[in-house]
């Protein structure tokens, strides 16, 4: 936990700023904030995911954490590691589009712990307390929901800026 909590905190807070377009552009001859922060974010993201995997395997399971949730943590934690590695490889190859896609997916997995609140509170208010299976499914749904949102934005970026077609304004129509 001494590694996991600080690295997750740095990863999630700094990572949010990686999506700000003005921070991705550097000044001529100087690296961008995005590039400088990325040199911290890739290792902290890896440490966060790897320490999370270690805790999932070696810590005693808390109440309501069963084998299904353990498997989900191993799957999504491993995916986060893989996505960060693939993003790093892509940026080393100067494939910035793939880099952005892989890192967006990794960040979605990391931020999904916050999505759990959005998914779980309505469940508790509408249905009642969770049991072991429900808890695992709600947490799994949080990871899936975060990844679906990331894929939506990845797809939207791939489509380019939205183009609206307006009918041409003729000189006689202009006032």
pLDDT digits (tens, 9 = 90+) for 112-144: 988 898 899 999 999 999 999 999 999 999 999
Reported as type and span, the H/E element at residue 156 is helix 132-159
pTM of this structure: 0.85
Query: What pLDDT score was predicted for residue 113?
Result: 85
Query: What pLDDT score was predicted for residue 72?
Result: 97
* Letter string b/e over residues 7-18, b meaning 16 or more CB atoms within 10 A of that residue's CB: bbebbbebbeeb
CB 66 within 8 A of CB 49: no
Does position 165 have pLDDT exceeding 60, yes or no?
Answer: no
Query: What pLDDT score was predicted for residue 168?
Result: 57
CA atoms within a 13 Å half-sphere pointing along the CA-CB vector of 87: 23
Does position 156 have pLDDT exceeding 60, yes or no?
Answer: yes
pLDDT digits (tens, 9 = 90+) for 14-70: 998 888 877 777 677 788 888 889 999 999 999 999 999 999 999 988 888 999 999
């Amino acid at each position: 936990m001494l590694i996991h909590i600080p690295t997750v905190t740095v990863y999630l807070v700094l990572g949010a700023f990686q999506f700000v377009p003005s921070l991705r552009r550097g000044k001529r001859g100087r690296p961008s904030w995005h590039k400088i922060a990325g040199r911290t974010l890739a290792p902290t993201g890896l440490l966060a995911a790897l320490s999370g995997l270690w805790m999932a395997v070696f810590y005693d399971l808390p109440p309501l954490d069963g084998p299904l949730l353990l498997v989900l943590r191993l799957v999504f934690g491993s995916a986060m590691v893989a996505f960060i590695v693939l993003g790093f490889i892509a940026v080393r190859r100067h494939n910035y589009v793939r880099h952005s896609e892989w890192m967006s997916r990794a960040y979605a997995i990391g931020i999904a712990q916050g999505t759990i609140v959005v998914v779980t509170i309505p469940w508790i208010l509408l249905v009642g307390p969770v049991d072991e299976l429900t808890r695992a499914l709600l947490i799994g749904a949080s990871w899936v929901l975060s990844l679906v949102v990331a894929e939506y934005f990845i797809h939207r970026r791939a489509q380019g800026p939205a183009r609206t077609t307006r009918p041409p304004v003729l000189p006689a129509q202009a006032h």
